[in-house]
Amino acid sequence: MLVVVLGCSDGASGGPVSASGAPSNEAAAQSSAAVVVAGTSSADAVSGASTYASAPPETSSRPPGAGERTLDGAALRRRNAARLREDKSAVTVLSGDDPLELGRDLCEAVVPRRAAETPILVKPNLCGFDAVKKRGDDNGVSGRTTHPEFVRGIVRCLRARGHTKITIAEGCSVPHAQFLEVAELAGYAQMAREESVSLVALDDDGVFDVEGDRPGKPIVVSGIADTTVPTLLLPKGLADHLEGGIWISAPKIKTHRFSVTSLAIKGMQGVVMRSDGKPAHTQKWRMHKELMTYLKTKDTAEDRALFVKSLELFADRMVDVLEIAAPDVVLAEGAPAMGGDGFQTMRPMPKKVAIGGTNPIAVDKVGTEYLGLWDSARLANGLRGHRTSPLVSRAAARFGLDLNGWPITGSGAPLLSEPRPVSFVSMAPFSVP
């Protein structure tokens, strides 16, 4: 049986949202009643910042109960750090017009062959939407999330190899009913019906953490007290594959008004749970909690240094999550890739691509370069010297990778040498170009 696991949230943090599009409280996030986000989410709603006036100090992930399963985070860190340092394999860039064909062909070119019984998890981006809109031509979801036909192509590629234990997984910060609504609106529910697969979520929402294989059950991670994410938990659906399978990140290639670009490293936010509060899947906002202070003063006394510092801290936390739970493969969808701010300003790139590889940092670099935001002097003017997304540069520095001149192969490789429009709209008051 194939199982498709999806979850969703609204915007940058994956924070809980209310019917008005503003952040909700944690109790509301636990409710399984329908929550429809109306209108357009603001920067504040996307960050989930204003709900939390002060955050409790981080200590460490809660101790496991007697007989409770744990993940050996220290062992995962050693294994992933060694792999990320040593993997210098080429990044594959494909061009084409059909998202399904791009997903299938990139999977065939990049995903390592394993025994047919090996369980495989595929994680698209279904969280980065700009509210569920009931009126107008823009539903708030399309163009912001990984194209379902691209994921269909991945599923068919894996099926053709004989794989049957396939899970498509995403985790967000919204209640169960809203997950179902967004999955339908984004086209994943229809794709799942047509491919005869199931839809569940990597969320401890009172449904997916207690039913079936319980993919949303939070698992304690040991050996991470010295990281920037000592309270990190990971969903059981991911833990199962970290310990005995393959997991594939399938992000949308797009800009992001806080993190600059959103690919594999930013997509790790979808697997984050925190033991700081309940439900654990609604605690993703803590990954950039310093952004709260910036947003409170942005309109009256914009503090660019504070904005940049919050982005640097977010990047360091996301790199720690990457080190603990790095995907084995990244298959990124750009059919089309999106410039703008990732939510309300959507500017599609003129040619459709798919970018993949086994080193997520290298794939993110090539995707960022395709978006025109690698080694950008204009970006550095807005981000106090950062010439690309700090998520990419700080990940490269962590593992000693020189990303300049990284080998690139595939039919779309020449596109990186062609002139392309560049469009990035930041949460801070600047844009590129």
The predicted structure's pLDDT at residue 280: 97
Q: In Å, what is the CA distance from 278 to each residue of 16, 25, 58, 317?
A: 12, 11, 15, 20
Which pLDDT band holds residue 172 (cuts at 50, 70, 90)?
Answer: confident
The predicted structure's pLDDT at residue 56: 55
Which numeric CATH code is attached to 3-53+67-432? 3.40.50.11440
Three-state SS across the chain?
A: CCEEECCCCECCCCCCECCCCCECCHHHHHCCCCCCCCCCCCHHHHHCCCCCCCCCCCCCCCCCCCCCCEEEHHHHHHHHHHHHHHCCCCEEEEECCCHHHHHHHHHHHHCCCCCCCCCEEEEECCCECCCCCCCCCCCCCCCCCCCHHHHHHHHHHHHHCCCCCEEECCCCCCCHHHHHHHHHHHCHHHHHHHCCCEEECCCCCCCCCCCCCCCCCEEEEECCCCCCCCCEEEEHHHHHHHHHCEEEEECEEEEECCCEEECHHHHHHHHCEECCCCCHHHHHHHHHCCHHHHHHHCCCCCCHHHHHHHHHHHHHHHHHHHHHHCCCEEEEEEEEEEEECCCCCEEECCCCEEEEECCHHHHHHHHHHHCCCCCCHHHHHHCCCCCCCHHHHHHHHHCCCCCCCCCEECCCHHHHHCCCCCCEECCCCCEEC
Residue range 95-108, pLDDT digits in tens: 999 999 999 999 99
Q: Where are the domains of the chain?
A: 3-53+67-432
Residue range 127-147, pLDDT digits in tens: 888 888 877 888 889 999 999
The mean pLDDT of 305-311, rounded to a whole number, is 97
Residues of the chain with pLDDT > 90: what percent? 72
Residue range 383-397, pLDDT digits in tens: 999 999 999 999 999
CB 101 within 8 A of CB 411: no
Which pLDDT band holds residue 353 (cuts at 50, 70, 90)?
Answer: very high
Q: Cα–Cα distance between 251 and 125 in angstroms, integer?
A: 5
> Residue 52 pLDDT more than 60?
no
Residue range 152-168, pLDDT digits in tens: 999 999 999 999 999 88
Question: How big is the CA angle at 22 (ends 20 and 27), to the nearest 5 degrees?
Answer: 95
> Residue 19 pLDDT more than 80?
no
The mean pLDDT of 317-326, rounded to a whole number, is 98
Q: What is the mean pLDDT of the chain?
A: 87
Q: Cα–Cα distance between 395 and 373 in angstroms, integer?
A: 16
Q: Cα–Cα distance between 390 and 223 in angstroms, integer?
A: 25
> Residue 58 pLDDT more than 50?
yes
> Residue 182 pLDDT more than 90?
no
Nearest to 246 by CA among 165, 146, 321, 147: 165
Nearest to 145 by CA among 170, 127, 168: 127
Residues of the chain with pLDDT > 70: what percent? 87
Which pLDDT band holds residue 13 (cuts at 50, 70, 90)?
Answer: very low
> Residue 111 pLDDT more than 80?
yes
Q: Which residues of 85-98 are buried (b: 16+ CB within 10 A; e: fewer)?
A: eebeebbbbbbbee
Task: Please give the residue that has the higher pLDDT: either 415 or 6.
Answer: 415
Tokens of 419: 């002139």
pTM of the model: 0.89
Which pLDDT band holds residue 4 (cuts at 50, 70, 90)?
Answer: very low
Residue range 61-82, pLDDT digits in tens: 777 777 789 999 999 999 999 9
